[in-house]
Amino acid sequence: MKNHSTPAYQGAELFSALVFICAMSAALMYTICNSVVFQTTCIMTALTFGIYMIFYALRKKKAYAFFAFLACFFVVTIIFSVFIRLSRVSPVDFLFRASEYYDATMAAAFIPLFSFIIGFPTAYFSVYIPRPAFLLLPAFIPLLLSAKTSNGLPAGYVVFMAVGYALVILGVSRPEFPKENVYFDDKKSRFERLGALGIFGLVIAAVIYCVPRSTETPLGDYLDNAFKVRSTFFAGNGLSNFTNTSSVNHGSNVLSENVLFYASADKPMIVSRWFFDEYNDDGHWTAHKDYTTGWTNWRTYKQNLNTAVLSSKLRVAADVGKLSEYAELLKTLPKIPEENYYNTRLMRIYIADKSNTRVVIHPNMTVDVSIRGYDDKIYRTLMDEMFTDKNFGQNASYTLSYYDQTPNKALIYLFEQVDMEELLSAAEEEGVISETEKEAFINERNQAAEYREKILEEPISPRITALADEITDGLSSDYEKALAIEKWFGEARFVYDLDFIPRETTAEYFLFESRRGICTDFASAAALLMRAADIPTRYGEGFVLDADNFNEYGYYAVKAADAHAFAMGYIEGYGWLEIDGTKYAIVAGEEEDNSIIPFILLIIAIILGTLAFIFRERLAEVIFAVGVCFRSDRGKIRAVYLRTRKLACKIADKEPKSTTSEEVRGIISNSLMLGAEAEEITSCADALFYNDTVDPRAGKLYANYRKILKMKRKMRK
């Protein structure tokens, strides 16, 4: 007799489902609502369990369950759409950055969505079509999403999820089969399971992999967004500007390949856009109010800040008998041919993205600017930012003159041994340098010292200070300290990774936990380390003229992807020196990173353990089959009989120890119609147990047992 009807199911254990749902909710809310994880976890758990209970109550009424599914899907879609429209935050920003700032409206959109995605499959795979392995699919949502957004879940959340999963697979519903001896082949359920798995797999793939990534670049704003407020004049020749905050790495950076401007230069270099002074706890830099004013009379001052000229004049003075007090030290300075004194270079910039901006992008040590078609004032701040009084037109072009100088180590070491002001004053008195040259260098030194005192009113973290002391231990020169800090990022194997999404945006998190980030992270960390080493330092943002973007026309095509952050430290005897720890970092994908191996091993262990539990009976049979091969004939008879008796007792719901061989034979013959196979096994066992005789059919017994086992499974006994 055959019966192809679908079995009815008992209800799944509700407490187990609740724990599982709570674990999934906690993991998801930790990922996207970190600051209010407890409150949002409670809300999502209640909502998800409510959705689960709707389908649990309709477990024996599939038609109603189908309409309930459509209704829930419709309601969740409406809620999601309405709150997405109401929110001022984009869905992508919320998913990838909500751990940093919480938006209640966006949370109200995503919580119902994820509640439906978790609640319905939990009911479907634990009540309607119990398949514990398929319950791993909802678990992958928080695991994969957290790996993209917050550097993985803490161990406690992973354990909670594992416990919840273990409980729910132990508490899934059980099928109720007819009492009669029937052959059961539920093909309809098989197709239903496969269809559900395919559909849900596509949903998971869409949620995890098809969500668009953040389009924010490392710097965020483009050239024409530099000015947020109307500028204000001071004393007729000053202009206040640059009040924005710096960029912060929120991760998942997708860099635009749109060309912003073209630049002609002799070699790859960094060009500056703006600088910041004060570091905030959230990882942002802001401009100090005393350094946002620009002046127009900066050209003469900057043109006199030429260390090559100063070094040459001091050396010549010593050679001709001047500055006798310093002569021995001055003779260590290198001789520079007069034609190389100034070493002035030209750079031309052509804006290409239709920006109508007032920002003058420029290299370090720029001494002059000429903007085509613009005759008005050009301002410069003490922090080396340059901008104009008016926008200078779309796709404007301009020419910059700058000193191309490498650090003169001899001059730097000279000023570490003598007082700069005393030496330069003596040089002016003896006619070696002009008063203007002396004032330019002394004013820059004094401004840097004043800047250090003013900025260091804000204390630096003791951990960062201790790290700076460790890196610069044994070094006395500011120049050597700055280079040591710059190179340390490579020695400590920091990783440059555009895709990495930090859990926090602070320099401490970058330095002591993740050690992985982008240029803004490296620049912030380097600036704070240098300040901790008592070096006047500011944080800067600009662009890199990359050799890979040098075209056949002799220009560097500078894209949004070339946006860059760096630190600038003041070194006596050189001026403001670019410190770029990013250039020593290991590029993501090229490092030998074994940090993920323990996590992978944990996942593999959980999967293997789950599979072993789900398929424990088949695994036990495999172990039994292997063991039978190595037994003697006596052992084979004993093992096969005891195994057969256990199967028979399971079918008849009897106690194995009190069941005779004759009863075993009867159960198998009546239930599975395999009387001959059962008779061979039991007769061999009787001969062994009662007469101590080994039947020659011992080698065939395992084959008989396999037939019995196969039929039991086929008839679902």
- Assess contact for 380 and 294: CB atoms under 8 A: yes
Q: What pLDDT, in 10s, does the model give residues 671-690?
A: 888 888 888 888 998 888 88
Percent of the chain residues topping a pLDDT of 90? 22
Token pair 């009867």 is found at 666
Does the pLDDT of residue 342 top 70, yes or no?
A: no
Looking at residues 646-674, what average pLDDT do you find?
86
Q: Where are the domains of the chain?
A: 2-209, 223-587, 615-714
Confidence of residue 488 (pLDDT cuts 50, 70, 90): very high
Looking at residue 216, what is its pLDDT? 38
Which of the residue ranges 193-207, 267-281, 513-527, 630-644 would you say has the lowest mean pLDDT? 193-207
Confidence of residue 224 (pLDDT cuts 50, 70, 90): very low
Identify residue 629 by its one-letter amino acid code: C
- Nearest CA to 309 out of 335, 344, 342 is that of 342
- Nearest CA to 552 out of 291, 262, 304 is that of 262
Question: How far is 561 from 256, CA to CA, in rounded Å?
Answer: 5
Looking at residue 335, what is its pLDDT? 78
Looking at residues 457-467, what average pLDDT do you find?
86
Does the pLDDT of residue 576 top 60, yes or no?
A: yes
- Nearest CA to 309 out of 299, 317, 297 is that of 317
Percent of the chain residues topping a pLDDT of 70? 81
Confidence of residue 48 (pLDDT cuts 50, 70, 90): very high
78 exposed, middle or buried (CB, 10 Å; 0-12, 13-18, 19+)?
exposed
Looking at residue 184, what is its pLDDT? 39
Looking at residue 45, what is its pLDDT? 93
Looking at residues 370-393, what average pLDDT do you find?
86
Mention every residue, 6+ apart, whose C-beta is less than 8 A from residue 690: none
Looking at residue 10, what is its pLDDT? 61
Confidence of residue 34 (pLDDT cuts 50, 70, 90): confident
Does the pLDDT of residue 486 top 90, yes or no?
A: yes
Considering only residues 579 and 336, tell me which one the structure prediction assigns the higher pLDDT: 579
Q: What angle is formed at CA 464 by the lines to CA 462 and CA 469, rounded to 5 degrees? A: 95
Continuous H helices in 182-258: 187-209
348 exposed, middle or buried (CB, 10 Å; 0-12, 13-18, 19+)?
middle
Q: Angle 104-123/37-57 helices, nearest 10 degrees?
A: 40
Token pair 């003490």 is found at 382
Q: What pLDDT, in 10s, does the model give residues 292-301?
A: 788 888 888 8
Looking at residue 597, what is its pLDDT? 59
Looking at residues 584-607, what average pLDDT do you find?
69
Looking at residue 578, what is its pLDDT? 94
Considering only residues 208 and 409, tell me which one the structure prediction assigns the higher pLDDT: 409
- Pairing between strand 563-571 and 537-545? antiparallel
The number of residues making up the chain comes to 717
Q: Alpha carbon of 457 to those of 283, 328, 452: distances in Å?
A: 18, 39, 9
Residue 25 has a CB neighbour count (10 Å cut-off) of 28
**DSSP, residue by residue, 44-66:** HHHHHHHHHHHHHHTTT-HHHHH
Which residues in 87-212 belong to E strands, given as ranges? 175-176, 183-184
Question: How far is 399 from 174, CA to CA, in rounded Å?
Answer: 80
- Nearest CA to 381 out of 357, 362, 396 is that of 362
Looking at residues 48-75, what average pLDDT do you find?
87
Considering only residues 202 and 279, tell me which one the structure prediction assigns the higher pLDDT: 279
Looking at residue 362, what is its pLDDT? 93
Prediction pTM value = 0.57
Output the six-digit token pair for 91: 């869905």
Looking at residue 570, what is its pLDDT? 95
368 exposed, middle or buried (CB, 10 Å; 0-12, 13-18, 19+)?
middle
Question: How far is 371 from 556, CA to CA, in rounded Å?
Answer: 19
Question: How far is 100 from 648, CA to CA, in rounded Å?
Answer: 61
Indicate if the alpha-carbon torsion angle 60, 63, 67, 69 is positive or negative: positive
The distance of Cα 445 from the centroid of its chain, to the nearest Å, equals 41
- Assess contact for 310 and 341: CB atoms under 8 A: no
Mean of pLDDT over the chain = 80
Gyration radius from the chain CA atoms: 38
Looking at residue 560, what is its pLDDT? 81
Q: What pLDDT, in 10s, does the model give residues 113-172?
A: 999 989 898 888 888 877 777 787 777 777 776 665 544 677 778 888 888 887 787 777
Question: How far is 544 from 559, CA to CA, in rounded Å?
Answer: 9
Looking at residue 260, what is its pLDDT? 83
495 has which bridge partners? 516, 586
E strand or H helix that includes residue 517: strand 516-517
Question: How far is 432 from 327, CA to CA, in rounded Å?
Answer: 13
Residue 14 has a CB neighbour count (10 Å cut-off) of 13
Question: How far is 395 from 261, CA to CA, in rounded Å?
Answer: 8
Question: How far is 454 from 512, CA to CA, in rounded Å?
Answer: 27
Does the pLDDT of residue 703 top 50, yes or no?
A: yes
Token pair 């109307």 is found at 230
Region for residue 81 given its phi and psi (left: phi exceeds 0; alpha: psi -120 to 50; beta: otherwise): alpha
Does the pLDDT of residue 226 top 60, yes or no?
A: no
Considering only residues 645 and 15, tell me which one the structure prediction assigns the higher pLDDT: 645
371 has which bridge partners? 398
Does the pLDDT of residue 98 top 90, yes or no?
A: no
Q: What pLDDT, in 10s, does the model give residues 610-633?
A: 777 777 777 888 888 888 888 888
Q: Angle 675-691/701-714 helices, nearest 10 degrees?
A: 140
Output the six-digit token pair for 700: 């065939």
663 exposed, middle or buried (CB, 10 Å; 0-12, 13-18, 19+)?
middle
Considering only residues 697 and 487, tell me which one the structure prediction assigns the higher pLDDT: 487
- Nearest CA to 295 out of 198, 377, 231 is that of 377
Mention every residue, 6+ apart, whose C-beta is less than 8 A from residue 716: 177, 184
Output the six-digit token pair for 508: 């401490």
- Assess contact for 702 and 644: CB atoms under 8 A: no
Highest-confidence segment of 254-258, 313-317, 529-533, 643-647: 529-533
Rounded to 5 degrees, φ, ψ at 699 are: -65, -20
- Assess contact for 544 and 289: CB atoms under 8 A: no
Q: What pLDDT, in 10s, does the model give residues 650-659?
A: 888 888 878 8
Question: How far is 263 from 248, CA to CA, in rounded Å?
Answer: 26
527 exposed, middle or buried (CB, 10 Å; 0-12, 13-18, 19+)?
buried
The distance of Cα 321 from the centroid of its chain, to the nearest Å, equals 62
E strand or H helix that includes residue 107: helix 104-123
Question: How far is 273 from 361, CA to CA, in rounded Å?
Answer: 5
Residue 10 DSSP one-character state? P
